[in-house]
Structure 1
């Protein structure tokens, strides 16, 4: 599974690395709503939540569907403009001005994308403002999340300009309350990362650059597509003449473990990536993670792991212990080895196997990172 961005014929000058204040505010708000997703900024989230005035905290609860369960495309509104030169602003006000340039249908459908997820990324994507069935479905899905969400969704569908003004004021109040200080603290780091990736693209090419962005990203040999290794299957194009060619990479301090790829139909694609922290291990591929989960799902292999976690064993020893044939044990060990869960070592003419305890201990965090990526 992967999210693919088609880039055949895209010149390197249309591949842009740039920070976005609005995108970083969105990830910061997500971290405030879901601090368990972001252990690296838990202290910041705790302190910031504690310092919020009650009125602002209440308003953030009303609009949290924009950044909590899904990261709304309104945080990357520049990508929806029919202007290939449009890029993130240097200030939050500039980003909000770009967002204001979206028409009401684009803004509403991007805000309520959880109501049309089955059509996301396709030409069939419709607006709940113009589609009565989708309008009803949007209210129904919002109601399932609570009366506050339903009330807000009904207001958005009834009066988009008023809600858009309300949302802008909310983001401006967040800026005044905490984000201005946060942005001043991280913006130089983000700008430095963007400059570094831009220079890397110029010197070493796209493949080396996207690998430096995230090990979960890769480029095919012909340099016609960028693949993001995620638990999703989707396609986007960076060479749509209707919206202008280009793909934008946006670095983030608060994004880990998420790697977001905007693949909305009619918008230019965006890769919103976390700046790697040196103390964090590289992400496991989805394929390798699936191999490990499948390997441990078999009861016989679970029992073998019980022994292998304590000491190294040969195939014959395990066969004798469990009353199995040596070929059957060998097949199970081969599955565990392919998944990277056990390590072999030769002792004379014998080969012993032992569980890699550090790898197994990471499965919990690997699971979380893989499903959140």
Structure 2
């Protein structure tokens, strides 16, 4: 995934807080606590405190934040107002920005991942196009009656559904998010100030390195590379919503690094500011190398021996009845993937499995696919 920043003035790159974006992440944690082991306590206590009516309504709309994150939570990036605007200071202000979007665009946001296959391509709105509407209903049917009911209501009366969603988010603020936001916004504001200072004094490359190891600039300094399994591209200039790139910190985001790349919207990178006390996650390419290295049955057998003690190539060849050159080829693959340590003892080279790195594979894999 990449973001083209060619010609983007430095002053159009910044860090900002968004209550609505953070509410979206908090709702995701409530719906998918397994993605966020460090927040089990908060998720359990918050879920237990919800009144049945609010819990039912959250269940009704959870496709907006459960399997992925709807762009509904970042409306400031699409508001087409002289030069663009940032997020609201309060949840109410963010919701006012959401209200500014046309009905056709709101419907596209609500159905973007569950009932649409045109996120990157655009296309006619199901509010006016019969074929697109039928396609949306077909996709909704594949996801069950709850999705069909919501999609029908949204297409038949988008104004009423928009009001229903706004009330839902306002009730979340009253029930739990207001207290949560007052607690986390201090940390988020401090992080945004710190990253802004890095951006101002050291430049975009250093600021992105401080945000996430998954972000990097290409050699020309005109393209941001995002190390995610997802494909996608966008540009930070020439959008009807104005030029700009916004970084939004989140206390509920880890391990997700979210990139809004909706056509005709300004790009947004939402990043986690708090993570478990773990080493930096492996790149997607390194994770792929490690999984491929371990996929070969002989290399798995070699790892069994190397996990127990350091051994030479000759010892491994004798143990498994294969030639030393063949052992060396397998060891080279494991070493290239960063799974082995080596040390010399006299004229012998001893190889051993790096248990710490292998132990990280489970969490590296999870972080890689969730990033």
Report the TM-score, using the length of structure 2 for normalisation.
Answer: 0.97
Q: CA-atom RMSD, angstroms?
A: 1.2
1:340 pairs, out of 335, 338, 344, with 338
1:28 pairs, out of 26, 29, 38, with 26
| Deviation for aligned residue 1:11 | 1.1
49-58 vs 358-367, which moves further: 358-367
Structure-2 separation of matches of 1:207 and 1:117: 35
Distance 1:363 1:241, change over 3 A: closer
Structure-2 separation of matches of 1:80 and 1:184: 26
Report the equivalent of 1:225.
223
- Count of residue pairs the alignment pairs up: 370
Deviations 1:167-224 (A, max 9, x none): 0000000000000000000011111111111111010000000110000000112210
Structure-2 separation of matches of 1:118 and 1:298: 36
Report the equivalent of 2:193.
195
1:132 pairs, out of 125, 130, 137, with 130
Structure-2 separation of matches of 1:323 and 1:53: 66
Structure-2 separation of matches of 1:327 and 1:305: 17
Matches within 5 A, 1:231-270: 231-270=229-268
Deviations 1:304-353 (A, max 9, x none): 00100100111111111111111111010000000011111111111111
Report the equivalent of 2:76.
78
Structure-2 separation of matches of 1:245 and 1:300: 53
Structure-1 separation of matches of 2:283 and 2:362: 15
Structure-1 separation of matches of 2:247 and 2:178: 22
1:329 pairs, out of 313, 327, 331, with 327
Kept in 2, the 8 Å contact 1:121–1:265? The answer is yes
3-state SS of 1:154 partner: helix
Structure-2 separation of matches of 1:125 and 1:235: 18
Kept in 1, the 8 Å contact 2:17–2:248? The answer is yes
| Deviation for aligned residue 1:47 | 0.3
3-state SS of 1:226 partner: strand
Matches within 5 A, 1:80-229: 80-83=78-81, 84-115=83-114, 118-122=117-121, 124-229=122-227
Distance 1:337 1:210, change over 3 A: same
Structure-2 separation of matches of 1:363 and 1:372: 14
| Deviation for aligned residue 1:242 | 2.7
Report the TM-score, using the length of structure 1 for normalisation.
Answer: 0.97
Deviations 1:73-124 (A, max 9, x none): 00001111113331101100000000000001110101111146643233x3
Structure 2: which 5+ residue stretches go unaligned? none
Kept in 1, the 8 Å contact 2:116–2:136? The answer is no
Structure-2 separation of matches of 1:127 and 1:115: 15
3-state SS of 1:65 partner: helix
Kept in 1, the 8 Å contact 2:78–2:265? The answer is yes
